[in-house]
């Protein structure tokens, strides 16, 4: 018994010593002055808000790639010079359109808006599929037909969730050969004219597509209660969209690799992400400031990548770690969606996504994990926060749909366990709204004592998870568990 006690004491003491050593290394490498230097460059006025397609976003990408090179990160096949090409497209919205079926005609801006698709003049069959879940789509013969559905899903209880479910549905329809997706809006949280102005008021961004791309349309019915089509029912009709123009724009994800040290675990990848774009220049405030600097959103996240690169390049973990600065998150998660469709390693070798993105912070006693309670990674996050005397907070308001509004959802949809870490967000309040997507989001307003602790915690979290013997997984019953079981063949 004494021998067993001595062995357990020795193991515990060794683990404690190893932890203290890592914490001391992180304390030595991560300094406020360097953090401020990085943030001051990325969020400077001269960077003009790092808008997609801008020269300044290209400069930011070069800055990140240069740092990856300085730290000795490896390039991956498919990303020469640390750049993964992303084929983006800037489009001018439609200026006319109509949909007619069942004796009713819907007209552009009056009760019809266009979300996606090219100019088209189409005539054929519409098939109604209820909410159009994957199961409902599989039951219907949609090939070559225009799919008619209720917008969002049964579970979607706010506009963000409706839009997310609608996008997923559109992808499912196009993958199954449907001619397009037409949805009835069944919610009233946002006035229809506001939606029209949002989707038709200026250029839109997406991937480069052929001119025959399937349309995605929302309709505003006169009376939602009168929508009573039979599921699988077929009706004839027409659809027309015109006025759209498309311009290809080269985009880039910035990718660097730290190869793992364990002969087996190095074949698994933890992919750490942060988007490096923001929203550019807009209408001046009363003070004349027109630049959306994006210090919090998301220069803070980019600097998290730079600090992980610095630490793990000197102290590589057992697993391989891929660092990806993602483009065009603000335009619809385009960089992360592109990556999961064009991965630089097999998707089933990606065992975890750690994404750093945030709207700001209003609780400097914590680090926030929007995904807290959803994966087995939580125990490592708790260890990391405790090491730097911070608490661990979860999603402050699930109704806001924060998880579905940032790049981690692109990985989660494929089944990859995904967590979102950000500075402490306790609630959506005036302190957050003062800076979120506002010209006031500048480096001069940041608290570097707090951010230094945040970055140390973030780096330690990545290190712990990259050395964890068993890869993290979704907790039982999570909405993405089924996709993960399929991806990993579990």
DSSP annotation string for 227-241? --PPTT-EEEEEEEE
Q: What is the mean predicted confidence (pLDDT) over 404-410?
A: 96
Residue 61's Cβ-count burial label (10 Å; 0-12, 13-18, 19+) is buried
Residue-wise pLDDT tens digits, 179-196: 999 999 988 778 899 888
Query: Is residue 4 pLDDT above 70, yes or no?
Result: no
From CA 271, how far away is CA 355, in angstroms rounded? 8
Can you give the pLDDT at residue 10?
47
Strands (E), 308-462: 320-326, 350-356, 366-369, 391-393, 418-423
Contact 461, 398 (CB under 8 A): no
Contact 183, 114 (CB under 8 A): no
pTM equals: 0.79
Contact 325, 64 (CB under 8 A): yes
Residue-wise pLDDT tens digits, 198-251: 888 778 888 887 655 799 999 999 888 888 899 999 999 999 999 988 899 999
Strand partners, 354: 272, 419
From CA 39, how far away is CA 444, in angstroms rounded? 10
Query: Is residue 406 pLDDT above 90, yes or no?
Result: yes
Query: Is residue 13 pLDDT above 70, yes or no?
Result: no
Look up tokens 């090179």; give the residue.
Answer: 69
> Which backbone phi and psi does 59 adopt, to 5 degrees?
-60, -45
From CA 215, how far away is CA 217, in angstroms rounded? 6
Look up tokens 């001046």; give the residue.
Answer: 284
pLDDT tier, 362 (very low <50, low <70, confident <90, very high otherwise): very high
Look up tokens 């004349």; give the residue.
Answer: 288
131's tokens = 């909410």
298 prior amide bond cis, ω within 30: yes
Strands (E), 243-340: 245-258, 269-275, 320-326
pLDDT tier, 161 (very low <50, low <70, confident <90, very high otherwise): confident
From CA 256, how far away is CA 272, in angstroms rounded? 10
77's tokens = 């096949």
From CA 142, how far away is CA 292, in angstroms rounded? 44
Give Cα 450 distance to the centre of its chain.
25
270 prior amide bond cis, ω within 30: no
> Which backbone phi and psi does 281 adopt, to 5 degrees?
-120, 140
User: Residue 73 carries which DSSP code?
Assistant: P
End-to-end CA distance of the chain: 39
Domains present along the chain, CATH in parentheses? 30-88+248-488 (3.40.630.10), 94-243 (3.50.30.30)
Give, in order, the Cα–Cα distances in Å from 117 to each of 141, 193, 246, 278, 378: 21, 21, 11, 25, 40
Contact 201, 164 (CB under 8 A): no
Query: Is residue 6 pLDDT above 80, yes or no?
Result: no
Q: Name the region of 73 (left: φ>0; alpha: ψ -120 to 50; beta: rest).
A: beta
Q: What is the mean predicted confidence (pLDDT) over 257-261?
A: 98
């Amino acid at each position: 018994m004494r021998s067993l006690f001595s062995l357990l004491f020795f193991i515990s003491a060794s683990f404690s010593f190893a932890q203290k050593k890592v914490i001391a290394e992180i304390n030595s490498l991560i300094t406020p002055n360097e953090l401020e230097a990085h943030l001051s460059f990325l969020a400077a006025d001269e960077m003009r808000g790092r808008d997609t397609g801008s020269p300044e976003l290209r400069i930011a990408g070069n800055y990140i790639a240069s740092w990856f090179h300085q730290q000795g990160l490896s390039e991956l096949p498919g990303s020469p010079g640390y750049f993964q090409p992303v084929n983006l497209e800037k489009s001018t919205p439609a200026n006319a359109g109509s949909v007619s079926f069942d004796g009713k005609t819907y007209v552009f801006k009056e009760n019809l808006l266009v979300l996606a698709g090219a100019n088209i003049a189409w005539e054929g069959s519409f098939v109604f599929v209820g909410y159009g879940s994957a199961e409902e789509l599989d039951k219907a013969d949609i090939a070559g037909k225009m799919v008619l559905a209720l917008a969002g899903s049964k579970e979607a209880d706010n506009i963000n969730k409706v839009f997310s479910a609608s996008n997923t549905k559109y992808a499912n329809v196009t993958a199954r050969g449907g001619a397009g997706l037409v949805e009835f809006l069944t919610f009233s949280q946002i006035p229809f004219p506001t939606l029209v102005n949002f989707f038709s008021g200026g250029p839109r961004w997406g991937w480069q597509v052929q001119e025959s791309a399937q349309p995605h349309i929302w309709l505003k019915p006169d009376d939602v209660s009168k929508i009573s089509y039979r599921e699988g029912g077929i009706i004839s009709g027409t659809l027309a969209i015109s006025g759209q123009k498309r311009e290809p724009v080269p985009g880039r994800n910035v990718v660097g690799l730290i190869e793992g040290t364990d002969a087996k675990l190095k074949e698994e990848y933890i992919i750490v992400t942060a988007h490096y774009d923001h929203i550019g220049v807009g209408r001046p405030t009363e003070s004349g400031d027109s630049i959306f600097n994006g210090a919090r959103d998301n220069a803070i996240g980019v600097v998290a990548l730079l600090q992980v690169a610095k630490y793990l390049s000197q102290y590589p973990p057992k697993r391989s770690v891929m660092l990806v600065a993602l483009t065009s998150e603000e335009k619809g998660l385009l960089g992360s969606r592109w990556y999961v469709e064009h991965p630089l390693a097999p998707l089933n070798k990606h065992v975890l996504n750690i994404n750093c993105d945030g709207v700001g912070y209003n609780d400097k006693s914590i680090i926030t994990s929007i995904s807290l309670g959803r994966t087995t990674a939580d125990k490592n996050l708790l260890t990391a926060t405790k090491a730097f005397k911070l608490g661990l907070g979860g999603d402050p308001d699930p109704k806001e749909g924060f998880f579905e509004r940032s790049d981690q959802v692109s990985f989660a949809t494929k089944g990859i366990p995904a967590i979102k870490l950000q500075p402490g967000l306790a609630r959506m309040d005036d302190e957050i709204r003062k800076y979120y997507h506002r010209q006031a989001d500048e480096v001069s307003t940041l608290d570097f004592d707090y951010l230094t602790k945040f970055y140390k915690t973030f780096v330690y979290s990545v290190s712990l998870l990259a050395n964890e013997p068993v890869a993290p997984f979704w907790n039982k019953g999570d909405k993405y568990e089924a996709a993960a079981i399929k991806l990993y063949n579990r």
